[in-house]
Structure 1
Amino acid sequence: MINLGEKKLILASQSPRRKELLKGLGFDFEVRSKDTSEDFPINLDPSEVAGFLSAKKAAAFAHEIVPNEIVLTSDTVVILEGKILGKPANEEEAFEMLFALSGKTHLVTTGITFLTLEKELTLSDTAKVFFKELSGQEIEYYISNFKPFDKAGGYGIQEWIGFVGVEKIEGSYFTVMGLPIHLVYDVLKNL
């Protein structure tokens, strides 16, 4: 167990999954969030987008941070054949994304940024996810029952679609879930 001493950890995310994962490490933390644009330069390498967006979210707190605070931000992207799949706007987009992922391997990259008054550190972790072939009926069932509109790539691995569709992962399950908790632990341990 890590004791942060006088430091106060701020999770800058409304994601229930990130809250659950950070709580699992045993840290006390406060949740604060800001709406931040998820736009990124179109020429940015897809593997760098999650880190870029995480750092952008941290920058929104730069003028508010006080001594002894550690702000943690995070962003997750799904990369299929070199293309970023964002969050679906509606059922049709979610279906298109899941249909495209069906029977293929894709990458999930999660970037995390730690911001204090003294420094900023951004790290990324990537996992490779192998999806089995999904039927249209399975995709429609998932979308109508789980409404994955707040999730990159239109799915949450910890939900039904992950149970039936993910054959294998190379890398951290928690990176796919939205927070590479092993990296978070290592950084906080060294702070």
Structure 2
Amino acid sequence: MKTHLQLFIAFFRSGMLGFGGGPSAIPLVHKEVVKTFKWMNDDEFSDVLALGNTLPGPINTKMAGYIGYRVAGVPGMLNAVLSSIVPTIFLMIILLTTLASFKDQPWVAGMTRGVMPIVVILMAVLTWDFFKKSKQSLGWIVSIGLIVASFILIELVHVHPGLLIALLLSYALLKPDKKKNEENKGQKERGVV
């Protein structure tokens, strides 16, 4: 029961505070899943995020479904998904009916402008964390090269980010494992194999 309450809290908070949609909720989900409840480490979270970005649909819902399933099976999946979408649906209905009458007021536009810098900082912090992780596993040159190549492909060539992520995941899955090849080579030299 405690696990289900924690799942509800984690995805309720990330769903309610993820202003602007999925991308802004990712740092909040990361904080809940990795830092607060420690259901995953950073590497596992980045794998879930990368795979979730290649699939269609809202990222927050996909991540809630997978993480909920991993933590507490099918009931956990249902709990996490519902806690991330149902409260925001009700809130959206209430706010849209209320704000429709105030949409031309300056304070409504000010709310949106006031939250945007916070979303930018959340995304920048998450990006920096992922960059540090990739630097550790790939090195500075490869990490920076991938960032530059991704920027060019996405912004200038207009390649869809999902396609780029799918290509990189495919490469990671299909590339030869140097460490394993070195171990096999060492075993052959010692006559173990």
TM-score tier, shorter chain, comes to under 0.3
* TM-score normalised to structure 2 length: 0.26
The structure carrying a bigger strand percent of its residues is 1
* TM-score normalised to structure 1 length: 0.26
